[in-house]
Each structure stands twice: as structure tokens, then as C-alpha cells.
A and B are shown apart, each in its own frame.
Chain A
Amino acid sequence: MTVIYMDNAATSWPKPAEVSAAMIKTMEEAGGNAGRGGHRFAVAAGEILYQVRETVAAFFGSDDPFRVTFTANATESINLILKGYLKQGDHVLVSPLEHNAVMRPLQFLSQQNIQWSVLPAGKDGRINPALIEPMIRQNTRLFVICHESNVNGVIQPLHEISEIAHSYQIPVLADCSQSAGSIPIAIDCEGIDFLAFTGHKSLLGPVGTGGIVWGSHVDVNQIFPLKQGGTGSASDRYVQPDFLPDKFESGTLNTVGLAGLKAGIDWINRNQQNLVYLKKGELFREFLNEIRSIRRVHVFCAEKIENQGFVFSLTIDGIDNGFAAQWLDEEKGILSRVGLHCAPLAHRFLHSFPAGTIRFAASPFTTSQDFEACIEAVKILAENTTTLH
């Protein structure tokens, strides 16, 4: 049975062949420790990291490669901003569709009397910009916006939100875990101050890669680093360097993984015409419409198709989500993701808590045959809810 991988919102698969090739090449030819020492292997590793910085910066519309900070994933990036920027007594506004990568650190920070509230939104969790202003308090210091939901694929009106936030001098942290690589993002045009990304989803890189892109006006002096340690620079001192990129990058970076991330982004840049948001956009919409038309199937997606990313969820009346997902895997080779998707806030808001949903997410490698197979399989499930148990 061929595998139809529809769990690209968890991590994308397959990766372009260039990704693993770049990783092997880096391991074999640039095996030194970047920034540590001046021998050729160390310099080669440093040069690779610089190229990755250039590629990531350009991809998100930043012209300063040093405004890219590498982390292990979006979770670390978000932790860095929340813990490095917020202070005791601060208030944070979040979207109703936040992932636990945001909610758990915020819950932890509530011990320091840091409070959060949820921005008003439509039924699908898309924030209504007209209702934002009354939510802003004197001590509101940050907006956190999940750019594209990993539950229903709703894309938030980032630009409108950040305009309001900025008019109160409040910065915006955008969790671009799902959107980066599938929706074009220009950091300053969108009004993003802190752009958190992960490398292993739509950017098509390997796991263990991610980072922050800092908006061009952000003063990084106001952010404390999440960790301190060796950077290869200012080694005669115990104090942490205060300049980019070293300030936030203590410890040896994942040069091999980051070389793979660059190869993933290069692949996206070379294959613009194949990208999910262009060629696959139409296919995906048809797929979603077909699924929505199946009786007994409840789809969690954006109310307006123009606000829809490449992820959506569903439940089927009379059938357990876990059973359905297992049946899809075992009988049809379709790999979906069942449960709460690390996003209880989103599921509560969408009234799918605690049972969760079954999630489908496409990638540039998803074909029309894959979509058709999913439609057929969901139809079988929906039509046989009593007999399949």
C-alpha cells in the first residue's frame, strides 16, 4: 500500500532530495565548529551558517542576515521572546487559536503575574480587528498571533492587527510555524516584530531547526537571552555578548540541520510555480469543498476561503476520531493526525475540546490523486459509521 502523508502540519514529508544531500555534504566537508577557531573546517561551517542566515532573511523580506537568530524550533523561539521580553505585571493579548508553544510558557509566566487574554474573533477563530482596541490595557506589552492555525488553517489578518498594536507601541510576536513556507511573508510589511518559525514544516527542512527573524526596528537590547554560554566570541569574558547574532545563540548551532533548511528554502524559491499556495491552492480548495459536501462530516476551516491555509480538521458523526484515523492508516495508507494538536485553546474555542479532530495538511508534494484518495476514504467512513465499528 502506498502511503499518503497528510500530516504535513506536524512535520512535512517527504523533503526535497537536496535537503539530505546538503546535510551530508556539510557533515563531510564542513565538519568544524562554526565560530570556534580559524581553521578551514571551522570557517567552512561558519560560511554555511552565514549563507543560511542570508537565505532565511531574504525569504522573510529582511535585508540583515544578522537579524536571524537560530533556535531548535518554533517552541524555543517563542519561549525566548516570551521569557526574554515580558516583565512582571505585564499583560499579553493572544489569538484564540494559539498552540501550547505559546500557552504553556504563558501559563508558566503567570507565576510572575503576567496575564493574558484572548482577542475577540469570529466563529472560526479569525480575529476581528474592529474589536481589538477595547482589549488593550495600560499594561498590555505584547500581541501573540498564530499566523496560520494548525487546527483549522485560519490565517489571521496580521497586518491589520499589527497596525493597531503599533499605534499603541505594542510589538507583535507572530507564530509562523505553519505559514512560513506556504504563505509569502514579508516581515516589515506585515508589521511583525518577532517572527518565530520552525524549519521542519512548510520550509521543508529537517527537524531541530528554527529561529526568530527580528523586525528591522526592533531593539534587541530589550530582550534577555534565554540561555547564556559559549559563542566563540568575547571568550575572555564571563558576560554574555550583547550583539547579534551571538547574544541569543550560545552553544554550538545545528549547522548540519541548518544547511538542510537552506536547501529546503532554496527548493521553495526554485519551485515557486509548484508551491502549495499557488498551483496547489486550487486543488486544495476543491479538496476542502468536496470534503465539506460529505454528509455527517463536520469540517473545521476558515469561514471565508481566502483566509484558509493548507490545513483543516474534521469530525464524523457517530464515529470515534481515533478509530477513524487508525482505519485511514491501516486500510488506506492515509496518515492524518488525530487529537488536540497541542492546541487546547483552539479546540476549546472551536468547541472540539476534548475529543479533538482529525487533521489533514497538504505539502507541495501532495498530488491530486492523494486528495482524491482522501475524499473517497472519508466518504466510506461517513457512509458506514455503523458497520465499520
Chain B
Amino acid sequence: MALPELPTRGQRFEDPPAQFAQSLASVGGRCERSPNLAAVRTAVAALPTVLEASKVASLIPEVHAGNVPLEQIEDPHALADVDVAILRGDFAVAENGAVWVPGAALGRRQALPFITQHLVLVVEPMDVVHTLHEAYARLRFGGPGFGVFISGPSKTADIEQALVIGAHGARSTVVFLVG
């Protein structure tokens, strides 16, 4: 049997960012639209999770200065007490609310998006594909590296099917689409 051709596109959505927001909401996350990074900065500063945070780890200085010296961190265990992590995602997927977070920017701090109590992802400029077919059409896996689709916060339904947000990883996930 021959290897079949793959679909290059699947279902289409009228308004992919709106669909993304809806998909993300359905998995317990939240999407905000912002015209620019300055607006994201204002919105992030007002997030209750950020207001209450004592440790903010930011990989986007334009959005938040952060108070965790990420550059100096060699051992990921040092990230254990991060309250909010702010990082970039490459693009978003409308059908499932996922954001592609490449490991390259994280480096030794690969644990960051998982160990943090709350996660803020910023997709700038806004880039939303319809389905995973388009997502994989653009992803390249040439060399060593890590990458992850994150769709909403960490969750479990292992106790009597009751959905509980915040199993091991982030208790909340907010995604900013910029532009």
C-alpha cells in the first residue's frame, strides 16, 4: 500500500482568530486581542495573576520586565517558584486553541511553561492557521530541539470525570493575539 497524500488544508473558519478564541475558551483558556505590545503590557499588568504574583518570569521585556533572572538560570529547578511566565508563541491554531511554543527561545529553561503557576502567551504578530494541517505544513524539524502545542491550562478529569483546571502545570493560560 502506498503512502497516501495528506490534506494540505481542512475545514475553514470565517474568522480564524475568533474561532481560536472560542476553541481556547472551550478548553479553559482565555484569548485577548491587542493592537500592539504596549497594549499587551497594560493588559498583563492588570491581570489578577500578575498583580498577585511575587515571581514573574518574562521572556518578552516589552511586555513585562519580570523579576526572575532567566539568563542566569542554569538549573531548571530554580524555576519551581515562578508564579507567572510570559513568553512568545509562534502561531495559533483556530480549530483547537493551541499555540506553538518553540523550545529554542526557552533553551535550558524548557520547564518554564510547565512549572509556572500561570502562563501568558503572546503571539505577535497575530498569526492564526485554521487547522493542524497548515500548522505542520510550516513546522520544520531539521535538527535537535523541543516544541510544544499548548492548548489552554493544565487539566485533569481523572476523579469521576470532574474537570479540574490546574493538574500539574499552569492553572491559567491567557493568550494575547497582537495586531
Q: Do A and B come from one complex?
A: no
Interface residue ranges, A against B (CB under 8 Å): none
Interface residue ranges, B against A (CB under 8 Å): none
